[in-house]
Amino acid sequence: MSVSKEKKISKLKNHAIWPFVVAIVMVVVLFLALSAALIAIAYSSIFSSKVQNLYDTAQEVAQNYEENGEDKENFEKICNNMITYTPNLLNVCVVDQNNQLLWNYGGNTPDFNETSQNFSVKAMFDKSAEGNGTEMEFLFNEEENEVDLIQDLQDDSGIGKVFLSMKVWGILPVMNGGEKICVQQSLVVYHHEVLMIVAALGIFAVLAILVLVWNIVSLVRMVRLRKREKDILYIDVPTGGNNLQYFYDKAEALLKANQRTNFHYALLSIRMEKYHNFCSCYGIKEGEELMENLYEKLQEHMQSKELVSHAAKADFAALLKYGEKDNLFYRLDHLLENLKKVRENQKLNFGIGIYWVPEKYEDVATMYNYAELAQETIPEDLEDHIKCFEEEMLNDQRWVRKVEDEMEHALSNREFKVYLQPKYSTREERLSGAEALVRWIHPKEGFIPPNKFIPIFEQNGFILQLDDYMLNEIAKMQAKWLYEGKKIVPISVNVSRAHFTKDDLAEHICKVVDKYNVPHDKIELELTESAFFDDKDILINTVKKLKQYGFEISMDDFGAGYSSLNSLKELPLDVLKLDAEFFRGEDREGRGDLIVGEAITLAKKLDMRIVAEGIETREQVDSLAEKNCDLIQGYYFAKPMPIEEFEQVAFGAPAQA
């Protein structure tokens, strides 16, 4: 899986939930912190004004004391007036520096006894820029404040209902003496003041709850969305079951969870063969319904800690556990029987590729690819075949990949070299022709045999370019020899069966050869008999055109595979090449020798020349000469050779038998 695709899938599977959780926690913490701060600010704001009022009252008393302290009668009168007209003022008294009472107006005095339950604090008032000011002490006599919370009482001032009342002594030193002015006042908190704080907290709480609810709802939606997206990510549309991505993820989890068990795992690629043919005959909808039925049957076969998913088209991925491999094969045979019963009136074939999961396993996608690779090596016409993965399969795939990656560059870099294998006349044993063969001289791999790359080119279509390259090289080489005044012999060039799908093949070949002005009879075109089983009409028309243009046509490898005498009847061939297998094996002196003789006789009657390839012994040469074979090609006379060596054989010293 590519990195970008993996990121996209990971993003779908893992929408982040933690931001919502963090947001919820932060809202709760922030609400509590701000609530505490709001209460503290409101409390400070309410009581600071009342404490300031107490300080102002004490300052006024201290000022009157400094002015009228000697006139006790007048000072007492002033204090009485202040108690009468100052809201919540209860008592006024004067003490010396040892806290001994000097004057008392109001009937009550502060309790300076350290053993009593007092609470004393000091505060600075009228501070200057330098930090100086007047220090005032506040004294709370707790026995006087046993009932602080007063509900539904009307204050004497008529301001409103009292919520909280506290009696506090304010003690202020006199400026010009050691005396202290003590003023007792009720610090009263009213219901409306508390309601203001509660209202502010309520508004803030509503906002916090709204934000909290929004985050909780978003969190729930995200959890549901993640589940829904996973369902969408994992669903397989044709079967309605689980898809390959689900298989990858769940198989990975199964393997991790069961690493130390007494059983092993095998990863399977199960394919119904000829699915396209089934859909062509019965329709796409019927094909998808079949896939759904097969998936259900496979699900029934699964045991605990096993897994199956629909992979693609007619492919299924399965993860099965096993103790012994023989038991697994027995189980798979039973599975195949059940799969066939899904459509008892229709012929269904299956192939299974197996990858044995090792202890140190790779990622599931890679292992499934190996199982697929094993499955793809099963021929489509085999019924219910099981194939296990082998390392050689992977090496073959890597080689195919390497060849396909480098073939274009190799062609442009002229790494494909022309080799020529001489053909000798049977009776005179002199050079009478040659076959052009391609060899790949790789800069790193060195010499690469044709059987290592030609089949790959035939499968991927690159053989068309290679054939054109070889034809061009032979025509150019023949033209060079003609220009040099040398006597040239016909050289045969292979034409792949893939070329014969084109109506203009004959014209194309003429164009290449005529570019170098080479006589057409000096280039022989070889085709394999397998080309006859493609589009026969195009093949016959093309061969006729080529013969009209003066080219000779030969059939290569006659006798290899399934030879058809019908091809000899319909194709106007000039040369018949007998396959080398006719001259190998234990029966070459018996039935094979008889067949060769009759093939030569038949070819002569059809006015065709015979070339025997793969000849390696003197006895074979003599036998073919007796049977009137025309040309011999094989190691007895010469192996395929580079052009330089062929020039020595053809135009220099005569070949040595």
DSSP H helical ranges for 341-390: 364-376
Q: What is the dihedral of CA 34, 40, 43, 48, to 10 degrees?
A: -130
The answer to whether the beta carbons of residues 20 and 215 sit under 8 Å apart is yes
Q: Give strand ranges (E) for 204-283.
A: 264-272
Q: How far, in Å, CA of 573 to CA of 603, rounded? A: 10
Helices 364-376 and 244-257: crossing angle, nearest 10°?
A: 120
Residue 147: per-residue pLDDT:
41
Residue 549: per-residue pLDDT:
93
Best CA proximity match to 506, nearest among 466, 537, 551: 551
The answer to whether the beta carbons of residues 439 and 417 sit under 8 Å apart is yes
Contacts of 359 (CB under 8 A, 6+ apart): 259
Q: Which residue has the tokens 């194309």?
A: 508
Tens of pLDDT, residues 592-642: 778 888 888 888 888 999 999 988 889 889 988 988 999 999 999 999 999
Q: How far, in Å, CA of 433 to CA of 430, rounded? A: 9
> Phi/psi of residue 481, each to 5°?
-65, -40
Best CA proximity match to 515, nearest among 472, 554, 551: 472
Q: What's this model's pTM, rounded to 2 decimal places?
A: 0.63
R_g over Cα of the chain: 54
Best CA proximity match to 596, nearest among 571, 620, 573, 570: 620
DSSP states of 282-321: H-HHHHHHHHHHHHHHHHHH--TT-EEEEEETTEEEEEEE
3-state secondary structure 45-78: HHHHHHHHHHHHHHHHHHHHHHHHCCCHHHHHHH
Q: Which residues of the chain have pLDDT under 70?
A: 1-18, 20, 23, 42-45, 114-133, 141-160, 175-177, 219, 222-231, 380-384, 529-535, 559-564, 584-590, 653-657
Tens of pLDDT, residues 234-266: 888 888 888 999 999 999 999 998 888 888 999
Q: Which two tokens stand for residue 206?
A: 């509503």
Q: How far, in Å, CA of 596 to CA of 41, rounded? A: 116
Q: How far, in Å, CA of 112 to CA of 59, rounded? A: 21
The answer to whether the beta carbons of residues 182 and 167 sit under 8 Å apart is no
Best CA proximity match to 105, nearest among 41, 214, 183, 158: 183
Q: Which two tokens stand for residue 655?
A: 């070949």
The answer to whether the beta carbons of residues 316 and 295 sit under 8 Å apart is yes
The answer to whether the beta carbons of residues 389 and 364 sit under 8 Å apart is no
The three-state secondary structure class of 635 is coil
Best CA proximity match to 557, nearest among 548, 547, 572, 567: 567
Q: Which two tokens stand for residue 211?
A: 């934000």
Neighbours of 641 (CB within 10 A): 17
Neighbours of 115 (CB within 10 A): 6
Residue 656: per-residue pLDDT:
42
Contacts of 4 (CB under 8 A, 6+ apart): none
Element (H, E) at 423: strand 416-425
The answer to whether the beta carbons of residues 438 and 417 sit under 8 Å apart is yes
Residue 100: per-residue pLDDT:
86
Q: How far, in Å, CA of 574 to CA of 328, rounded? A: 57
Q: Which residue has the tokens 């309410």?
A: 46
DSSP states of 441-510: EETTTEEE-GGGTHHHHHHHSTHHHHHHHHHHHHHHHHHHHHHTT-----EEEE--GGGGG-TTHHHHHH
CA-to-CA separations, 548 to 101, 327, 392, in angstroms, rounded: 147, 66, 48
Q: How far, in Å, CA of 20 to CA of 595, rounded? A: 86
Best CA proximity match to 170, nearest among 141, 142, 136, 143: 136
Can you name the residues that pair with 386 across neighbouring β-strands? 352
The answer to whether the beta carbons of residues 101 and 109 sit under 8 Å apart is yes
